[in-house]
Structure 1
C-alpha cells in the first residue's frame, strides 16, 4: 500500500505524514509548492488538483493512479476526502466529489471538519492578540466546535489505514461548542492577561481583512464563513475523535497552553507592515 497526501504544505497532511512514517507506511506528499514543501525529510512532489499536467509524476510514485473518475479502473482501493461542515452529497464544491466517490464503488470516507484551533495561531490573529490583546471576527455569538489538526490527522490516518473502510462521512469536531467570547476567556485564563473578542459586522470585517493585505475574494470568503458560524451553522457534536483515537479530543485550553508562546507580546515584532495597514 502506498498513499498520496494532497495539500502537502497544509495543516493536516504533514501531520498524517508523520503518523504514516512512524508506522513505516509508504506515502508521497503532493503540493502546489513542489518538492520544497516536504517537511521532516518527507518525500514531496509538485501536485495541483486543478492542473492535470502535475498529476503524472505524483502518480508514477504511488499506487494511486488518478482521482475518482479514473481510480476504480486503475485499482485504487480507498480515498479519504476532507471537506467542511456544509458539504453534502451532490452539493457544489466537495459535495460533487463526495457524490462521485459514493457511486464509484471505491472504499472511502469523507471527513467533515469544523474550524481548526490552529487558525488562532495564524500571523494576523497572533499579531493582534500579542500586540493589542484582542482579535476580530464577524461570528458574534455563534458557537463552533473547534478541533485540533492533530486530532483530524489521527482520524484521517485511521480512515486511510484501518482494515475496514468506513464508507460514510465522519464529523470530526472538537469536544465543546464555544463562542469566540469564550475563546477569548480561555486565552485570558491561560495567558494571564485580558484578551477581548471584537465583534464586527460584515462590512467592517471585510474592510479590516482587506487593509490587512488579503485579496478581496479571500476576505469575502472568510467573512462568509464567519457569518455562517454566527448563525450556529458550525454547531455540532461528535464522538468520532474519541472513538477512533481512544481518548477525548483536545480541548481549546490544552491547545492554548501548548502554544501560548505564539501569543506572547515578546513574540510580536516592534514594527510590522500589517499593523500599519490595519491600525494607522
Structure 2
C-alpha cells in the first residue's frame, strides 16, 4: 500500500495520476484533510483517508497497514517542521517501511530561507530511524508560467540577475515520485531533481517573445522592490519576502543543478520551459 499525503493538492493529484498508470487503484491511498475534495479519486478505486498534518491522531489512523508514504511538504511555511514531525512520528508508529519526502534542491547547501524547514525535516527523518528517500525538488516551471499574462503586459520582473533556473513541471516531479515509490531499494537515496536545460530570466523573457510573437524584456530589480511588487500583486508580505529571497538565492546558484536524476528517473527529457510556455499560452 502506498499513501500520498496532501493528495488533493496540485502535486499530490499528479502523483496519484502517475501511480494509477502503473499500479492498481486498490494499492493507493489518498490522505487529505477533507475527503470530499477527492471524491473523483474514490470513484476510481483509490482509498481515501482523512489526515491532517496538525492532528497526529488522524495521521496514525491513516497510516494503518501502509507500506510506503509520500510526504509532500506542507504548504504552511513556518509550520512545516512541526507538521512534518507529526507525519514522521505517525509513520514510525505505524511501522511504515519507507518515507519519500519532497524536499528542496540542494537542501544542505541552499542559500534559500525556504530550505531551512526542509533541512530540518531531513534531519528529523535521519533521527527517526525510519527508512527514507529524499526527493529534492527544484523550482516548478509553473512558478513562472502562471504569471505569463502579466509578463506579456509588463515584461518579466525579478531579482535573479543572471542566475540559472533548472526548472521542471509539476508533472515531471510527480512522475519521478511515482517511479521511486514503486521501486525497491530506495531507502537512503538522495535525488537532486532539476530540469535538464536551465535558463536565466533574460532567456525566459526571450523565449516568451519567440513563442508569443510579442517582445518581452526582463527587468532585474532590487530584492526589496521585488517584494513590494509581489505584495502589490496580492501576496502576504511575509510570503512575498520569502519568494524574493528565493530569487536572490537563484542568483547565487540556489535553483540550479546539472543533475540528471529527474530525467533518468522518468525515462525521458524533462519538459522544456519553451514547451511549458506554449502550454500555458
TM range (shorter): 0.7 to 0.9
What is the aligned residue count?
254
- Higher mean Cα deviation, 57-66 or 179-188? 57-66
Rounded Cα–Cα distance in structure 2 between residues aligned with 1:30 and 1:134: 40
Corresponding residue for residue 116 of structure 1: 140
- Higher mean Cα deviation, 95-104 or 161-170? 95-104
Deviation at 1:13, TM superposition (A): 1.0
State the superposition RMSD in angstroms. Answer: 2.6
Corresponding residue for residue 81 of structure 1: 101
Structure 1 unmatched ranges of 5 or more = 261-280
3-state SS of paired residue (1:48): coil
TM-score, scaled relative to structure 2: 0.80
CA deviation vs aligned residue, 1:213-257 (integer Å, no higher than 9, x gap): 211111111111111112222221111122222222221112222
Larger radius of gyration: 1
3-state SS of paired residue (1:37): helix
CA deviation vs aligned residue, 1:52-111 (integer Å, no higher than 9, x gap): 35435534585679732343342201110001125239x841223222323444332111
1:150-189 matched pairs, under 5 angstroms: 150-189=171-210
Corresponding residue for residue 69 of structure 1: 89
Corresponding residue for residue 50 of structure 1: 54
Rounded Cα–Cα distance in structure 2 between residues aligned with 1:54 and 1:135: 43
- Higher mean Cα deviation, 101-110 or 204-213? 101-110
Corresponding residue for residue 245 of structure 1: 266
The structure-2 alpha-carbon separation of the partners of 1:180 and 1:100, relative to structure 1 and needing over 3 Å to count, comes to same
Corresponding residue for residue 149 of structure 2: 127
TM-score, scaled relative to structure 1: 0.80
Rounded Cα–Cα distance in structure 1 between residues aligned with 2:142 and 2:40: 19
